[in-house]
């Protein structure tokens, strides 16, 4: 079993918690011991959302420098959470901006993609950036950007289960009306990651 600590971050409305649930349930269905938790979540759109999935660990907590994988559904929030990634970990992020509340209210500036890339590459063994919202729109629904990112993570083997397992979870746990779009989003994310 591949013990893995996964830190997920984004802003409200991006499906970060749905992605957390999909990863957790997929791990469970694969017979892996999983613990997950929400560190901080804002019910309102635009507020920061952070969650964890730990496979092979008893605690849902990830401290600075411990995450094997950092999934950034929102670029700035991914940069802010970079301190959780262990040296040599993997950073997979949405390259398209969805400015969080702090930027919208003028309390923070939005970094350039190249700034985030440089900081991520200084820590991570792999730093992958994908236009998740654009790919999700190609799949048929912008809200499936979260599964684009999961497809990419699965394709580069950052998650301890394969694409087939994740596809089964999408079919099993998402409403039928959403499953087909999300399956296409997984596929587009995987192809973009391997391109």
- Residue 106 belongs to a domain with what CATH number? 3.40.920.10
pTM: 0.94
Question: Tens digits of per-residue pLDDT, 158-186?
Answer: 999 999 999 999 999 999 999 999 999 99
**81-134: per-residue pLDDT in tens?**
999 999 999 999 999 988 777 788 888 889 999 999 999 999 999 999 999 999
pLDDT of residue 108: 80
Q: What pLDDT does residue 98 have? A: 83
> What stretches of the chain adopt beta strand conformation (E)?
4-11, 34-41, 48-55, 67-72, 85-94, 126-130
Instruction: Give the mean model confidence (pLDDT) for residues 53-58.
Output: 95
Domain span holding position 124: 4-194
pLDDT the model gives residue 30: 96
Number of Cβ atoms within 10 Å of the Cβ of 109 = 10
Domains of the chain: total: 1
Q: Which helix (H) or strand (E) holds 153?
A: helix 145-155
122 Cβ neighbours under 8 A, 6+ residues apart: none
Look at residue 44 in the predicted model and tell me its pLDDT: 58
* 5-16 pLDDT, tens digit each: 999 999 888 899
Query: CA–CA separation, 110 vs 102, rounded Å?
Result: 9
* Radius of gyration over every alpha carbon of the chain, rounded to an integer in angstroms: 15
Sign of CA dihedral 16, 28, 176, 185: positive
Distance, CA of 4 to CA of 15 (rounded, Å) = 21
Which tens digits make up the pLDDT trace of 33-46?
999 988 765 555 56
């Amino acid at each position: 079993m591949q013990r893995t600590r996964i830190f997920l971050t984004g802003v409200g409305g991006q499906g970060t918690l749905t992605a957390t649930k999909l990863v957790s349930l997929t791990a469970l269905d694969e017979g892996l011991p999983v613990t997950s938790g929400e560190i901080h979540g804002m019910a309102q759109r635009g507020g920061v959302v952070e969650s964890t999935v730990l496979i092979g660990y008893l605690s849902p907590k990830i401290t600075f420098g411990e995450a094997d994988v950092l999934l950034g559904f929102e670029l700035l929030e991914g940069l802010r959470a970079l301190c959780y990634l262990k040296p040599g970990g993997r950073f997979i992020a949405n390259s398209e901006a969805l400015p969080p509340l702090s930027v919208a209210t003028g309390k923070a500036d939005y970094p350039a993609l190249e700034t985030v890339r440089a900081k991520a590459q200084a820590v991570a063994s792999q730093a992958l950036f994908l236009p998740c919202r654009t790919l999700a729109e190609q799949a048929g629904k912008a809200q499936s950007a979260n599964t684009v990112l999961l497809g990419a993570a699965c394709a580069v083997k950052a998650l301890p289960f394969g694409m087939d397992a994740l596809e089964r979870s999408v079919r099993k746990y998402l409403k039928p009306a959403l499953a087909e779009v999300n399956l296409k989003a997984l596929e587009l994310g995987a192809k973009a990651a391997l391109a």
